[in-house]
């Protein structure tokens, strides 16, 4: 007969051994780890549809990690770009778009990746408080918009038959108008700081690079004021004449 202390020891150990045996016979992976590529992708799509963008990115990255060469891997890359964009993570969206174009340079969906990169660049720096208080975009850093303009231009040049061309063209027109207004804001700042030569440079940039925008009229106004400060009467008169030819009835038009 076993000593009493051995009996108690067996009572404690046997259930543990049984539990261990049962677990070894069952699945040794989490339920998510057993999902097929299609199941993972469908789950990610549901998360996207519900606005759970961060969760969707995690699911899509898990899909890519487990099935890097499967039929869903390419689409997962595209959906990650979209998820980052909708989540407001513009730098991540740009990086994801760059990665797709690098990995699949001949894929037809490169046009979509380039379009999304343009959208992400255009939205970069569009901070929460700027949107909340409806601050003029032309008052902020223009570099992201310049990069977006290049993205949309390359989209049109490289993928002229893409479904995104028409929207890209419209966005380029909007970006040109914003960039032109930015130049005017800087020019007027220079006038306030008693730097008329710098103001003239900015105004001339608008006339050279942003014809057809609403800022052209203001650029001419800046030139009239700047040339007046510089006491260059002949150039001021030339600008007033141009104003009269293009904007009849303007108060600065030559009589």
pLDDT of residue 124: 86
Does residue 239 surpass a pLDDT of 50?
A: yes
Mean pLDDT score across all residues of the chain: 86
pLDDT of residue 146: 94
pLDDT bin (cut points 50, 70, 90) of residue 70 is confident
pLDDT of residue 103: 92
Question: Six-digit token pair at 149?
Answer: 């303009």
Does residue 120 surpass a pLDDT of 90?
A: yes
pLDDT bin (cut points 50, 70, 90) of residue 228 is very high
Mean pLDDT lowest among 67-71, 83-87, 123-127, 134-138: 134-138
pLDDT of residue 34: 80
pLDDT of residue 227: 97
Question: Six-digit token pair at 86?
Answer: 């909708």
**Residue reference for tokens 């106004």:** 221
Does residue 148 surpass a pLDDT of 70?
A: yes
Question: Six-digit token pair at 103?
Answer: 């990995």
pLDDT tens profile 198-215: 999 999 999 999 999 999
Averaged pLDDT for residues 80-104: 95
pLDDT of residue 13: 47
Q: Which residues contact 86 (CB under 8 A, 6 or more apart)?
A: 48, 51, 53
Tell how far CA 75 is from the center of its chain. Answer: 19
pLDDT of residue 71: 81
Q: Which domains occur in the chain, in start order?
A: 36-163 (1.25.40.10), 180-255 (1.25.40)
Does residue 135 surpass a pLDDT of 60?
A: no
CB 217 within 8 A of CB 247: yes
- Quote the pTM value: 0.78
Does residue 19 surpass a pLDDT of 80?
A: no
């Amino acid at each position: 007969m076993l000593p009493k202390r051995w009996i108690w020891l067996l009572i404690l150990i046997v259930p543990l051994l049984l539990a261990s045996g049962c677990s070894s016979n069952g699945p040794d992976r989490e339920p998510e780890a057993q999902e097929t590529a299609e199941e993972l992708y469908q789950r990610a799509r549901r998360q996207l549809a519900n606005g759970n963008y961060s969760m969707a990115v995690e699911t899509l990255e898990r899909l890519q990690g487990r099935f890097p060469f499967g039929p869903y891997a390419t689409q997962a890359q595209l959906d990650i770009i979209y998820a980052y964009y909708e989540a407001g993570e513009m730098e991540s969206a740009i990086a994801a778009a760059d990665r797709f174009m690098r990995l699949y340079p001949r894929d037809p969906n490169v046009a979509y990746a380039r379009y999304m990169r343009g959208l992400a660049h255009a939205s970069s720096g569009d901070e929460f408080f700027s949107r909340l208080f409806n601050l003029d975009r032309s008052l902020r850093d223009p570099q992201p918009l310049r990069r977006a303009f290049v993205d949309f231009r390359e989209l049109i040049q490289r993928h002229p038959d893409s479904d995104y061309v028409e929207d890209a063209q419209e966005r380029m027109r909007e970006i040109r108008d914003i960039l032109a207004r930015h130049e005017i804001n800087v020019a007027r700042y220079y006038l306030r700081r008693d730097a008329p030569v710098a103001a003239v440079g900015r105004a001339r940039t608008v006339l050279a690079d942003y014809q057809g925008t609403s800022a052209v009229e203001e650029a001419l106004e800046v030139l009239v004021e700047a040339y007046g400060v510089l006491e260059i009467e002949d150039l001021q008169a030339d600008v007033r004449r141009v104003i009269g030819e293009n904007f009849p009835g303007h108060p600065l038009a030559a009589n």
